[in-house]
Structure 1
Amino acid sequence: MTDPLLNHRAEGPGTAPALLLGPSLGTSYALWDAVAPELSVDHRVVRWDLPGHGGSPAGLVHPGQTVGELAALVLALADALGIERFAYAGVSLGGAVGLHLAVHHPERLSSLAVICSSAHFNGSKPWQERAELVRREGLAPVAATADARWFTPGFTVPRLVADHRAADPEAYAACCDALAAFDIRDRLESIAVPTLLIAGREDPATPPAHLREIADAVPGAALVEIPGASHLAPAQCPEAVLTALRAHFSGGARRGMEVRREVLGDEHVDRAQARQTPFTALFQDFISRYAWGEIWTDPTLARRERSMITLTALVAHGHYDELAMHVRAALRGGLTPEEIGAVLLQTAVYCGVPAANSAFAVAQRVLAEEETADGTAGSG
Structure 2
Amino acid sequence: MPYRRNTRFVTAPDGTRVAWHTHYGNLSEEAADAELRDRPPVLLTNGIGTSENFWRYIVGNLEQDHRVTHWNYRGHGSSEDSCNGDYRVPVHVDDLERVTEAVMARGDGRPPHHVAFSMGVRVLLELYQRRPDLVPSMTLIAGTPGAPGSGTDRLTARVALTATRGLFRATTPVLPLAAPVVHAVISSRFAYPLGRAMGALRPRAPRADIEEFMRALRRMSPEAYWHTLCGLAEGHAWDVVSRVRVPTLIIAARDDTLVPLSEMERMRDAMPHAHWLRVDDAGHAGLLEAGTEIADAVRGFLVDHGLEPDRRGAPFPG
TM-score computed with the length of structure 2 as normaliser: 0.72
Matching residue of 1:80: 102
- Are residues 1:14 and 2:37 paired? yes
Correspondence list, 1:238-249, <5 A: 238-249=291-302
Q: Structure 1 173/152 Cα, relative in aligned 2: closer, same or farther at 3 Å?
A: same
Q: Structure 1 188/42 Cα, relative in aligned 2: closer, same or farther at 3 Å?
A: same
Matching residue of 2:91: 69
SS in 1 for 2:82: helix
Name the amino acid aligned to 1:101. Answer: L
Name the amino acid aligned to 2:90. Answer: G
Distance 2:263 2:100 in 1: 28
Q: Structure 1 182/237 Cα, relative in aligned 2: closer, same or farther at 3 Å?
A: farther
- Are residues 1:209 and 2:262 paired? yes
- Are residues 1:194 and 2:247 paired? yes
Matching residue of 2:179: 138
Q: CA deviation at 1:7?
A: 2.1
Q: Give the counterpart of 2:117 among 87, 91, 102.
A: 91
Q: CA deviation at 1:210?
A: 1.4
- Are residues 1:180 and 2:233 paired? yes
Residues 41 and 112 in structure 2, CA contact (< 8 A), matched pair in contact too: yes
- Are residues 1:58 and 2:84 paired? no
Q: CA deviation at 1:94?
A: 1.4
Q: Structure 1 4/79 Cα, relative in aligned 2: closer, same or farther at 3 Å?
A: farther
Distance 1:196 1:203 in 2: 18
Q: CA deviation at 1:139?
A: 6.6
Q: Structure 1 298/25 Cα, relative in aligned 2: closer, same or farther at 3 Å?
A: closer
After superposition, the C-alpha distances for 1:63-84 in whole angstroms (9 at most, x for unaligned) are 5x33222021012123234165
Matching residue of 1:44: 67
Residues 8 and 46 in structure 1, CA contact (< 8 A), matched pair in contact too: yes
User: Whose Rg is larger?
Assistant: 1
Name the amino acid aligned to 1:235. Answer: L
- Are residues 1:126 and 2:126 paired? no
Distance 2:165 2:298 in 1: 29
Distance 1:197 1:175 in 2: 24
The alignment of Structure 1 onto Structure 2 pairs a total of residues equal to: 259
Q: CA deviation at 1:30?
A: 2.3
Matching residue of 2:7: none
Matching residue of 1:234: 287
Q: Structure 1 8/61 Cα, relative in aligned 2: closer, same or farther at 3 Å?
A: farther
Q: Structure 1 129/44 Cα, relative in aligned 2: closer, same or farther at 3 Å?
A: farther
Distance 1:67 1:7 in 2: 17
Correspondence list, 1:142-291, <5 A: 143=186, 144=191, 148=198, 150-153=200-203, 155=205, 156=207, 157-250=210-303, 252=304, 254=305
Distance 2:58 2:293 in 1: 10
Q: Structure 1 187/19 Cα, relative in aligned 2: closer, same or farther at 3 Å?
A: same
Q: Structure 1 215/137 Cα, relative in aligned 2: closer, same or farther at 3 Å?
A: same
Name the amino acid aligned to 2:69. Answer: V
Q: Structure 1 106/37 Cα, relative in aligned 2: closer, same or farther at 3 Å?
A: same
Q: Structure 1 153/135 Cα, relative in aligned 2: closer, same or farther at 3 Å?
A: farther
Name the amino acid aligned to 2:164. Answer: P
SS in 1 for 2:252: strand
Name the amino acid aligned to 1:92. Answer: S
CA RMSD after TM alignment: 3.0
Q: CA deviation at 1:183?
A: 1.4
Which gives a bigger RCO, structure 1 or 2 (Cα 8 Å, sep 6+)? 2
Ranges in structure 2 where 5+ consecutive residues have no aligned partner? 1-9, 25-35, 149-160
Q: Structure 1 161/146 Cα, relative in aligned 2: closer, same or farther at 3 Å?
A: farther
Q: Structure 1 90/169 Cα, relative in aligned 2: closer, same or farther at 3 Å?
A: same
Residues 26 and 172 in structure 1, CA contact (< 8 A), matched pair in contact too: yes
After superposition, the C-alpha distances for 1:135-164 in whole angstroms (9 at most, x for unaligned) are 541174384565646422573321012112
Distance 2:64 2:213 in 1: 24
SS in 1 for 2:21: strand
Residues 61 and 296 in structure 2, CA contact (< 8 A), matched pair in contact too: no
Distance 2:235 2:285 in 1: 20
Ranges in structure 1 where 5+ consecutive residues have no aligned partner? 256-292, 300-380
TM-score computed with the length of structure 1 as normaliser: 0.61
SS in 1 for 2:214: helix
Structure with bigger helix share is 1
SS in 2 for 1:58: coil
Distance 2:23 2:48 in 1: 22
Residues 67 and 179 in structure 1, CA contact (< 8 A), matched pair in contact too: yes
Distance 2:301 2:83 in 1: 32
